[in-house]
Chains A and B, each alone.
Chain A
């Protein structure tokens, strides 16, 4: 009770420095938690973000580019796959399902992807879940200029069933390059929290034959999404396509290809971690400086407490406990800081990629960061506590004039 009273009153007496110092701890705690969660979640979420596909077949090029283009709808296509090549892979006994996609147009920056209806009727982006239109909508007719709109695009562009639109040429929005072809929205997809939410889906032939597109490549596709019959099939196709053919690339397994991106960005994670650790060290130092600088004004109180019978160890403990309490206060506020940072980051990642990170999924850093910062704060309190421990009583009982 006595220790708690001493700590409580001291924190109140030095309220401003307590708040500023706890604020720096909170920032450090929030940053540490965010950096670790983003690092872990981004890698695991993106690596598991396969759209339910096992592999992607595309033109000769980098596997990562192929995956980013076909699964995440981010990069440009590395080239085209002929219709015959699509038919060949689709007929392969190792392939369970093959869905071609074609890209090359956008509507106000959101990508149009031409595909076939079996993307909606046969493919599952996670087991048991398909890209499904909301009630009142339907999948486009392969023969008509109809579109099914991802939930995020619909929300951003305020597209509803019955909306008409004319796409723009290219993957980046250029108002001077609008096509004459007009499409009508016939379905709005339920949110899937996948990159599919950021896409406008139209019939494959619609995109292939859009006015202004080259007739020579009008039957080509950008990539073929593949569901394989077994993991061995993946190995066999990998061997056949990547090692023997020269025109095509098979990105398999998709998760491993995506993980390469994060391996390449490992240095960036290292920098972010370093910054977070430095902030933690500075926060610890600020606890030390704040309490140490107040020691002169505390000397008389310490002497009075000692004159009342408080042991040196009690005075020492009170200072360390106060430092730990500042750390605890900072850690609690740090959880709120984490919430704010993650709200922004999750939204940003969703806007850019359609992938949604789960900021509330348990991560060991939720315990480690607050506990570590409380420990750092308590350790920072040892130096001023030692000064308090050594405070002579008699000479400090006299008030300062």
Chain B
């Protein structure tokens, strides 16, 4: 376990993501506090691809949302490229997320009222700005050059996930977060989507943190760690179960 952790953290000189004492708890309906994330230390090097094993309920979505700044942590810090998100005001956090991160969701989260191209353009709009030729190029790269003006409902699930990949990568992020990106796809489409995500991340030099419970998906990563290895809250949950 230690060797895997060290693999993820060895490239200190080019560390992109650094987490320290990150904690997040929710209050249940009965008023009791449930700790979901308690990560003392975690880092990811620039350009590294890391698979993270996380069974259902292990807090992986919360963990990724905390990294993305979508959720505010109870305590601790998340630094992206040297900027501590927890110390930034919300607008700056939004800007940093838009400029430095791409997020691929299990449910794609495409805007249904917008075309493929518009979805990708909106992914760029809040960060470094709209670059229409690059957005088109990225959609062509994921094989959707003929579907630029289609709406998500006019696409297959596999194609929708490719739009989500294009949207996450079109703004040239330094870090791509992928939360069960193949969870809604059949095995063939899952394999294609995974290959695409990794290839495009590699081409752009983006670091990839992909969380999945699917062993077939994780097997393609040279480097895999379990969320429970870094998340003390997940370990406690296992014990209590």
Contacts and interface: CB of A to CB of B under 8 A. Distances in A.
Answer yes or no: are A and B bound together in one complex: yes
Interface of A: 1-2, 5, 9-10, 12-13, 300-301, 304-314, 393-394, 397-399
Given A307-B68, A311-B91, A1 B111 contact: no
Contact of A308 (B90, B107, B122, B130): B122
Contacts of A310: 94, 98, 125-126
B109 A307 contact: yes
9 contacts: A2-B130, A10-B113, A307-B70, A307-B109, A309-B127, A311-B91, A312-B91, A394-B61, A394-B70
From A304, A308, A310, A398, name the one whose CB has the most chain B CB atoms within 10 angstroms.
A308
Contacts of A9: 111, 113-114, 118
A393 B90 CA distance: 13
Nearest to B101: A309
B97 interface: yes
Interface in B94-112: 94-95, 97-99, 103, 105, 107, 109-112
Given A9-B118, A310-B126, A394 B113 contact: no
B65 interface: yes
A321 to B, nearest CB: 15
Nearest to B167: A308
Contacts of A393: 65, 70-71
From B107, B111, B123, name the one whose CB has the most chain A CB atoms within 10 angstroms.
B111
A304 B97 contact: no
A5 B127 contact: no
Contacts of A307: 68, 70, 97, 103, 109
Contacts of A300: 109
Contact of B111 (A12, A305, A394): A305
A399 B107 contact: yes
- Majority SS of interface residues in chain B? helix
A393 B61 CA distance: 13
Given A308-B125, A310-B94, A311-B91, 7 more contacts: A300-B109, A305-B126, A308-B122, A309-B99, A310-B126, A393-B70, A394-B62
- Majority SS of interface residues in chain A? helix
Nearest to A298: B113
A398 B105 CA distance: 9
Nearest to A398: B107
B105 A394 contact: no
Given A301-B111, A305-B111, A397 B94 contact: no
A5 B113 CA distance: 11
Contacts of B90: 311-312
Contact of B109 (A12, A304, A309): A304
A301 B125 CA distance: 15
Contact of B122 (A12, A13, A305): A305
A1 B122 CA distance: 10
Nearest to B122: A308
Nearest to B123: A308
Contact of B94 (A13, A311, A394): A311
Given A307-B70, A309-B95, A311-B91, A2 B126 contact: yes
B181 to A, nearest CB: 14
A314 B110 CA distance: 18
Contacts of A2: 122, 125-126, 130
Contacts of B113: 9-10, 12-13, 301
Nearest to B107: A399
A304 B111 contact: yes
B178 to A, nearest CB: 13
A13 B167 CA distance: 21
Interface string B113-150: 11000100111011100100000000000000000000
Nearest to B92: A311
Contacts of B61: 394
Contacts of B71: 393-394
Contact of A306 (B94, B107, B114): B94
Contacts of A1: 125, 130
Contacts of B65: 393-394
